[in-house]
Each structure stands twice: as C-alpha cells, then as structure tokens.
Amino acid sequence: MVGTVIAPAEAKAIPPLENGDRLNAHEFLRRYEAMPELKKAELIQGTVYMPPPVRLTEHAEPDNAMQGWLFHYAAYTPGTKAGAGATARLGPDDVPQPDALLRVLPESGGRSRVDAKGYLQGPPELVVEIAASSVSIDAGAKRQSYRRAGVLEYLLWRTQDAAVDWWVLEEDEYRPLVPHAQGVIRSRVFPGLWLNVPALLADEGRRLLATLERGLKDPAHAEFLARLRAGSGSQCSG
C-alpha cells in the first residue's frame, strides 16, 4: 500500500494594504514591506491612508522648494539632517511618511534614531507637510498625531489656500509661530531657519534662500551650533 504524502501547509499570504484598514504599527509595516510597488502609505491613529497620485503644481513643485530650503539649512548646520518622504515610527498607531523633516542627530542631542530596518524611530524635531487645503488629513488627524508624538514644530503649506501654518509645541499643545517683519517666520527649535512666506508663495526661490542666508548669519545660529557640538541641540530656543 502506497502511503499518502501530505504537503506542508503553505504560508498564509500577507494581505495587501487597503485604504481605511485599521491596523497597529507592526502589522502596517509588515504589509507595507510586502508591497514594494507601493509608493506611499501612512498609518495615522490606527487608520491606513493611501494618498492619490501627486499633482505637479499642488504638491511636487512645492515639495521641491521645501526640500531645497531644508537641505540648504542642514548643509550649514552640522549635527542636523533633512529628509524627504521617510517612514517614521512615532507610536503603536502612528507611522506617517512626512513630505519633509529636519532632525537633530542623536550624537548632537536629537531624540530620533534610525532602527535596524532603516526606519526613523521617534519624533524628528521638525516635520513639513504639503496639502491642498485646510480640510486635508494633514491639518487634522495627522497634526494631532505629531503633537501626541512630541514633534516640536510642524509646518503645513496649504497650496490651494496659498497659506503656511507653522506651529511650535508648548505645554503639550501646538501654538502658531508669529511672523516677524515682511512675513518671515523664524523657527524656535532650529535657530537661523527663517522662512520668507511671501517669497515662498510667489515662487521666488532666490529671495527665499536670501532670507535663509540672513538667518544663518544671525548670532542665534552660531549659539545653536555650539549646543549641537555639546550634544544638547534638541533644546527648544526661547
């Protein structure tokens, strides 16, 4: 009598991510990693969000402006580093993929780390998002997730509204940074990081960078560089 050979049970297929799924961070990343063709997905307060295709004028070009602005600052501020579209593990229910971020490196006093898989672990000091309007998730649930995680500053550029919101975390709440003269907003966490809002909205890149250059020459930036060298650069400037 010929015995029956029983094949081992096949490994259960990993379900694909679907918009609106309710998952924890571990399961979200497990499914995300099994979909290498997927360009962007985020977990915000336990819900999966998968954004539509990127529009050139409402997102791609503004994103390029923000990346150049942050890269320029980081290049002249050793101990900091900028990033674009990085998956960040902020908590058990929050794994966003911010458009841009600026962080203080761990050896300079920063609070975020890169884990064994290359994901950012912990809150970066500054997060930048680009959204069409104030009704987007970036202005609502995602903003609350960043606040809960302890992201010290959050900048939201609402392209259809032609407006920029920049908040700083104070007493566990986000409070708006008030522009200085000529509509220039100055970071409190990253001294010297000055944003010329009128130049940004008018797509005047040279004027945008000229304002940043003035910020980099401000004495507060030199003091910040000294704090970074001493390993205490994540302290919020008053």
Contact 216, 231 (CB under 8 A): no
| Radius of gyration of the chain, Cα coordinates, nearest whole angstrom | 20
Report yes or no: 73 and 3 within 8 Å, Cβ to Cβ.
Answer: no
Report DSSP letters for 44-63, one per residue: ETTEEE---PPPIIIIIHHH
Higher pLDDT, 236 or 232: 232
- The end-to-end CA distance of the chain, in Å, is 85
User: What's the whole-number mean pLDDT along residues 200-226?
Assistant: 98
What's the CA gap between 141 and 154, in Å, rounded? 13
What pLDDT, on a 0 to 100 scale, did the predictor assign at position 8? 44
Q: What is the pTM of this model?
A: 0.87
Contact 124, 138 (CB under 8 A): no
What average pLDDT is seen over the chain?
A: 90
Residue 191, beta-bridge partner list: none
Residue with tokens 């006093």: 109
Inform me whether the pLDDT recorded for 84 exceeds 80.
yes
**Which of 224, 226, 225 has its CA nearest to residue 236?**
224
Confidence of residue 2 (pLDDT cuts 50, 70, 90): very low
pLDDT in tens, 38-48: 889 999 999 99
Residue 235: per-residue pLDDT: 67
* 23-80: pLDDT as tens digits: 999 999 999 999 988 889 999 999 998 887 778 888 899 999 999 999 999 999 999 9
Q: Decide if pLDDT at 4 tops 80.
A: no
**Residue 5: band (very low, low, confident or very high) from pLDDT cuts 50, 70, 90:** very low
Domains of the chain: 25-230 (3.90.1570.10)
CA 64-69-72 angle, 5° bins: 120
pLDDT reading at 86 higher than 50: yes
Give SS3 for 58: helix
Q: Which two tokens stand for residue 72?
A: 């320029």
Give the pair of three-digit tokens for residue 187: 């970071």
DSSP-assigned beta bridge partners for residue 131: 158
pLDDT, tens digit (0-9, with 9 covering 90-100), for 133-165: 776 788 888 999 999 999 999 999 999 999 999
CA pair distance 173, 167, nearest whole angstrom: 9
Encoded amino acid at 187, one letter: S
178 three-state secondary structure: coil
Distance of CA 196 to the CA centre of its chain: 20
- Partners of 228 in beta bridges: none
